[in-house]
Amino acid sequence: MNKIYNPTPETWSEILERPTKTVDDIELTVKEIFKEVQKKGDEAVAKYTSLFDGVAIDKLEVTKAEIETAVAAVSTELKEAIQLAKNNIEKFHAAQKTARVAVETVAGVECWQEKRPIQKIGLYIPGGTAPLFSTVLMLAVPANIAGCKEIVLCSPPDKKGNINPAILYAANLCGVTKILKVGGIQAIAAMTFGTETIPKVYKIFGPGNQFVTVAKQLATQFGVAIDMPAGPSELLVVADDSAVPSFVASDLLSQAEHGTDSQVILVSTSKKLIDAVEEEIQIQLEALPRKEIAEKAIANSKLIFVENNQIALDLINEYGPEHFIVCTSSDDFYIDGIENAGSIFIGNYTPESAGDYASGTNHTLPTNGYAKNYSGVNLDSFTKSMTFQKISEVGIKNIGKAIEVMAEAEGLQAHKNAVTLRLKAIKDGK
């Protein structure tokens, strides 16, 4: 890993740069595939599935028989673990429900806000070397709590044309209404435009590689909303001598094994801890099945020493990590001061893995610095806030004059007339 000591604020942006390609490198490919899927539907989806996933798919939709086979293939132990995680995710997200907000702004003017579910949502679930069945829980559970009517799930097939059994089991358990064997750019394009088999949705959720991230951003140009720009995974740990070096190393490696373009960073006020963590990383790395992937990610990562907590906090807020672990003797300082982070994990016994799977919080989070302006997925992500107002004769008399004056000042005479006519009717007793 790259060790950096006392970097000046002027160098932070360069030091904290993410190891990602620019959008320009990817956008041309994404646009080309979008155009073809929009024009040719399932035919284009099948073409790119064959090209990128190396498999020909006759039927894109997963059948009931395939789901039953998958359910039988998942071990009892894993089913119990998934159920525990589902229960905790349900508890945390159900607690986020809010009641109708109502107020009488002035006598006779009632205003209220209600939340209604987004009717059609699409879930993108990465497959490949790490089939993220946990992401099914993170997205389908709150979607059901919110009351979404259609939950469409796309996930790339393996070389045999199958989706990982655990993904199918979780999808079936969580009430997904349609499951498709399609991944990558073509999946996002299909959910954006709709095809003969794949429904068009109103909002797309889920993480993915850089191609999926750009595809989701392009989808917004065609009237489809997305959860956030969620790309390669990242983790920043702030730790001092109160932290356990082996724990810190394990957390850094847990993110590094996601993909070669993942990034992990340790910020510390202790050179001793940095050295100990570096040593532990090398020891633990040797035992990892995904060692080659983790090694490449580690090459993009940093061990940063700073003199004090305030400098550390300023640097962390500049970076805006997706995942942020706090393990110091001054945890409250960081908890109170953090402004830009997707999800925060506190103390020696709170690994980032807990949030990935079973603590109850959502693991679909903003990356690439988007934690500065995006929230992670939560119950509100699956709803829309709608406002209502009801005005009585007393109410229109109380605010009518102000509306007339303001409308006239903006040169919108019809707006003024809409009030004037009503006030005249009340005055005339009609």
Return the active site residues: 322-323
Task: Burial-class residue 205 by CB neighbours within 10 Å (0-12, 13-18, 19+).
Answer: buried
258 labeled part of a ligand binding site = yes
363 labeled part of a ligand binding site = no
Q: Report DSSP letters for 252-302, one per residue.
A: HHHHHTT-TT-EEEEEES-HHHHHHHHHHHHHHHTT-TTHHHHHHHHHT-E
| Alpha carbon separation from 397 to 102, 110, 210, 349, 368 (Å, rounded) | 21, 14, 56, 61, 52
Q: How far apart are CA 351 and CA 12, in angstroms?
A: 26
User: Which residues make Cβ contacts (< 8 Å) with residue 352, sequence separation at least 6?
Assistant: 235, 251, 254, 255, 323, 325, 345
Only one residue has tokens 């202790």, namely: 270
* Amino acid making up residue 364: T
356 labeled part of a ligand binding site = yes
323 labeled part of a ligand binding site = yes
255 labeled part of a ligand binding site = yes
Distance between the two ends of the chain, CA-based, in angstroms? 80
User: Which residues make Cβ contacts (< 8 Å) with residue 320, sequence separation at least 6?
Assistant: 340, 341, 366, 369, 370, 371, 372
284 labeled part of a ligand binding site = no
Ranges of beta strands (E only) in 182-233 are 203-205, 225-226
124 labeled part of a ligand binding site = yes
Only one residue has tokens 């995006």, namely: 374
233 labeled part of a ligand binding site = yes
Only one residue has tokens 């000591």, namely: 5
**Binding-site residues:** 124, 186, 209, 233, 255, 258, 323, 356, 410, 415
**Binding-site residues for substrate:** 233, 255, 258, 323, 356, 410, 415
**Binding-site residues for NAD(+):** 124, 186, 209
